[in-house]
Amino acid sequence: MPASVKLFTGNAHKGLAKEIAKCLKVPLGHAFVGRFPDGEVDVKIQENVRGADCFVVQPTCYPANDNLMELLLLIDALRRASAWRVTAVIPYYGYGRQDRKAEPRVPISAKLVADLILSSGANRVLTMDLHAGQIQGFFDVPVDHLYANPVLIEYFKKKRLSSDKVVVVSPDAGGVERARAFGKRLRSGLAIIDKRRLSPNEAAVMNVIGDVKGKAALIIDDMVDTGGTLVKAAQALKEAGASRVFAAAAHGVLAGPALERLESSVVEELVVTNSIPMNGKSSPKVKVLSIASLMCEAIRRIHNDRSISELFV
């Protein structure tokens, strides 16, 4: 067994890494992650990691390429420094939406990123709410896949919304399983938005399948990017008779005009986790919940060879 747990991070989300370290009751590892004069990433581990169980916390969010390169070099540096095991902790897996060839002559970027992480020397991966579950199969090492649902569900339970007056809504057919699991925990009904995508960043909502009249609708998705799908889905729910509209997502990408769209929409509140740093972005309609305790417990269980799935029973 390794002598100790050591936690490292790049520049992607130091705040989350510090929260996890505090929860684990270990100091954040000493590593320099900077830039050479020509812009290349400069990494140096500044403490002994020989024989240690090392975890690198680094979501590959914006700027995705910089954050991914930092992750790869940190893993490589730890491996070459004789770490016993290196686990890539990726709360948000960038490039995850490019998981298949949806049209001719395009890359499968999610697979390429997995190959890069493996080549850097990662012994296992810990991530959360992958856009497509099959991305786990892109890796030839163990992948522990967490879900933000327990964190989000606990928040909405505290809002004390009556179960017979709440309906959980999937914004598309692909998210039905996620919405069904969420609704089961809240003991609420289920509805689906039938949409037709006009372009990669724009969607036209066509129809609401399910009874939402007079109920509080809770839209569940894995991420909110530019907010186009969310805003149009919320409007469709209102037109179908929903009394109130809330939304929740594991990852608040919130790119481009997302916040402006949200603030002018019928959505009362959007709840996301801190898998991605807000970096100064804020809105009175956005509530950010911490996943530090969830990640902390998962890391503790990995280190002690205990079950991860027990967290979601």
Predicted confidence pLDDT, tens digits, the chain (313 residues):
557 999 999 999 999 999 999 999 999 999 999 999 999 999 999 999 999 999 999 999 999 999 999 999 999 999 999 999 999 999 999 999 999 998 999 999 999 999 999 999 999 999 999 999 999 999 999 999 999 999 999 999 888 776 668 999 999 888 899 999 999 988 899 999 987 656 666 556 468 999 999 999 999 999 999 999 899 999 999 999 999 999 999 999 999 999 999 999 999 999 999 999 998 888 999 999 999 999 999 999 999 999 999 998 7
Q: Are residues 299 and 265 in the same domain?
A: no
Question: Active-site residue 18, yes or no?
Answer: no
Q: Are residues 51 and 159 in the same domain?
A: no
Q: How far apart, in whole angstroms, are the C-alpha atoms of residue 306 and residue 264? A: 46
Q: Are residues 31 and 53 in the same domain?
A: yes
Q: What is the pLDDT of residue 130?
A: 95
Q: Are residues 141 and 224 in the same domain?
A: no
Do 121 and 79 contact (CB within 8 A), yes or no? yes
Q: How far is CA 25 from CA 7, 57, 77, 125, 305, in A?
A: 11, 16, 24, 22, 19
Q: Are residues 68 and 181 in the same domain?
A: no
In the chain, count H helices and then E strands.
Answer: 8, 14
Q: What is the pLDDT of residue 161?
A: 73
Q: Are residues 103 and 163 in the same domain?
A: no
Number of domains in the chain: 2
- The DSSP code for 27 is P
Q: Are residues 105 and 153 in the same domain?
A: no
Domain that includes residue 268, residue range: 149-290
Chain centroid offset of residue 23 CA: 19
Q: How far apart, in whole angstroms, are the C-alpha atoms of residue 288 and residue 252? A: 9
The pair phi, psi for residue 29, each rounded to 5°, is -60, 150
Q: Are residues 104 and 234 in the same domain?
A: no
Q: Are residues 163 and 77 in the same domain?
A: no
Q: What is the domain-level CATH number for residue 162? A: 3.40.50.2020
Structure tokens at 16: 């989350």
Chain centroid offset of residue 11 CA: 17
Q: How far is CA 311 from CA 124, 206, 276, in A?
A: 19, 37, 22
- The DSSP code for 28 is B
Q: What is the pLDDT of residue 159?
A: 85
Catalytic, out of 195, 215, 232, 238: 195
Pick from 262, 196, 178, 190: nearest CA to 224: 262
Q: Are residues 134 and 158 in the same domain?
A: no
Q: Are residues 46 and 70 in the same domain?
A: yes
Q: Are residues 75 and 97 in the same domain?
A: yes
